[in-house]
Amino acid sequence: MAKTFDVIVIGAGSFGAWTAHWLRRSGRSVLLLDQYGPANARASSGGESRIIRMGYGPDAVYTRMAQRSLKLWRELFAQENSQLFSPTGMLWVAAENDSYTAASERTLREHKIKAERLTRDDLSRRFPQIGLDNVSWALLEPDAGVLLARRAVQAVVNDAVHQGVDYLPVAVEPLVTSFPTASLRCSIASIATTNGERTSAGAFVFCCGPWLPKMFPQLMAPRMFISRQEVLFFGVPPGESRFRPPAMPAWLHHAEQVYGTPDLENRGFKLAFDQHGPAFDPDSCDRAIALQSAQQAREYLARRFPLLRDAPLIEGRVCQYENTSNGDFIIDRHPELENVWIAGGGSGHGFKHGPAVGEYLAGLIAGRQPPEARFSLAAKATTQQREVY
């Protein structure tokens, strides 16, 4: 007879891997599944790097989660003797009336997180490689930095397996439910994989990122918006150190919705625009960089980082955001299925929070964690109006 688990976690990205980690630490038997493998190239947790910052405007819930997550990421890396966090710092460049960055500064100070306000003169002196067009001041988070994303998730999965989590690279069939018309609640005993097998558990956690609308078409498809996003890497001039740590931090300009990281591991200077792209299918859509994206990035480099005006494009990646209506996460019980939980809606900022999300979700399942109302399914609309960045 096939083994029955306490919990099956579907999806081995940042949310799913850490959820499996915390469930196993609580003593449960756990099976972790992923159709393409941990932090694969199609996943929202794939890619080489992700910024971890504590600034979130007035949204203190995410500030607290990021602070907790950074501690847990670093503890795991120290345990594994892995150098998967680069303490670059995080520089918010801001226009004069940038209320979101100003709110981040207030929230950071309220939570006693290090933050330094820099004047335009400070920026010119400390970061002469940055052009200051449309910049009046900046906020520096010295303890923030960059996670080496793909390898970081794989490290979480490897540690979870070492602690007793079972892992299988299989795909799961979508669950058929009658939402939103049914009012009865029930439980399921097993899930079916696409190879025709069934696996049983007491509870099921779907951390499927951009695949959640496919797993729960009626429930999730109207509440999630999967968008194509592009990331570009430009080659720095030979022998040039001003675009590598420690001279160059990770950076973000909220008013212009653009961000990037310094040249890490000699892969190039990363730049991406944070506007939501067109609708995207993570399974079937092509992942070639559009020519107009490269041109837009070059125009931005010429203005913001003049020394990189003629830098060659050495790599480009297409990923996706799985956006909720406002950018808040979805971490909630299925409205019909008593023993099914859903976690997703990273909305472009979720990766960093994996440790805290997993800890929170394990607490919900155990009944010892009060739910956060803004993470509920009920709080999600079917039209987009982004509020969380």
Write the CA distances from 377 to 39, 51, 57, 343, 372, integer angstroms. Answer: 25, 27, 23, 10, 11
The answer to whether residues 117 and 139 touch, using CB atoms and an 8 Å cutoff, is yes
Half-sphere exposure of 251 (CA within 13 A, CB side): 28
User: What mean pLDDT is predicted for residues 236-249?
Assistant: 97
pLDDT at 48 over 80: yes
Query: Per mean pLDDT, which range of 178-187, 249-258, 327-336 is the poorest?
Result: 178-187
Q: Quick one: how far is CA 143 from the chain centroid?
A: 18
- CA–CA gap between residue 80 and residue 300 (Å, rounded): 39
User: What mean pLDDT is predicted for residues 43-49?
Assistant: 94
- Averaged pLDDT score across all residues of the chain: 95
Q: How confident is the model at residue 327 (pLDDT cuts 50, 70, 90)?
A: very high
- CA–CA gap between residue 328 and residue 377 (Å, rounded): 10
Q: Which two tokens stand for residue 54?
A: 């504590």
Mapped onto helix, strand or coil, the DSSP state of residue 206 is: strand
- CA–CA gap between residue 118 and residue 124 (Å, rounded): 10
Q: For position 185, what pLDDT does the model report?
A: 78
**If you write DSSP's letter for every residue of 216-255 in order, what string do you get?**
SHHHHTTT-EEEEEEEEEEPPPTT--TTSTTTS-EEEEGG
- CA–CA gap between residue 115 and residue 385 (Å, rounded): 29
- CA–CA gap between residue 389 and residue 378 (Å, rounded): 21
Q: For position 1, what pLDDT does the model report?
A: 42
User: What mean pLDDT is predicted for residues 221-236?
Assistant: 97
Whole-number percent of the chain with pLDDT over 70? 98
The answer to whether residues 255 and 95 touch, using CB atoms and an 8 Å cutoff, is yes
pLDDT at 177 over 90: no
- CA–CA gap between residue 152 and residue 146 (Å, rounded): 11
* Span 133-168, pLDDT tens digits: 999 999 999 999 999 999 999 999 999 999 999 999
What letter would DSSP give residue 322? Answer: E
Structural domains in the chain?
Answer: 1-48+148-223+324-389 (3.50.50.60), 87-145+225-323 (3.30.9.10)
List the beta strands (DSSP E) in the chain: 4-10, 30-33, 50-52, 85-86, 90-94, 116-119, 137-141, 145-147, 166-168, 190-192, 198-206, 225-234, 250-253, 258-261, 269-273, 313-323, 330-333, 340-344
- CA–CA gap between residue 318 and residue 182 (Å, rounded): 38
* Span 337-375, pLDDT tens digits: 999 999 999 999 999 999 999 999 999 999 999 999 999
Which bin fits 223, alpha (ψ -120 to 50), beta or left (φ > 0)? alpha
Q: For position 14, what pLDDT does the model report?
A: 98
Q: How confident is the model at residue 183 (pLDDT cuts 50, 70, 90)?
A: low
Q: For position 179, what pLDDT does the model report?
A: 52
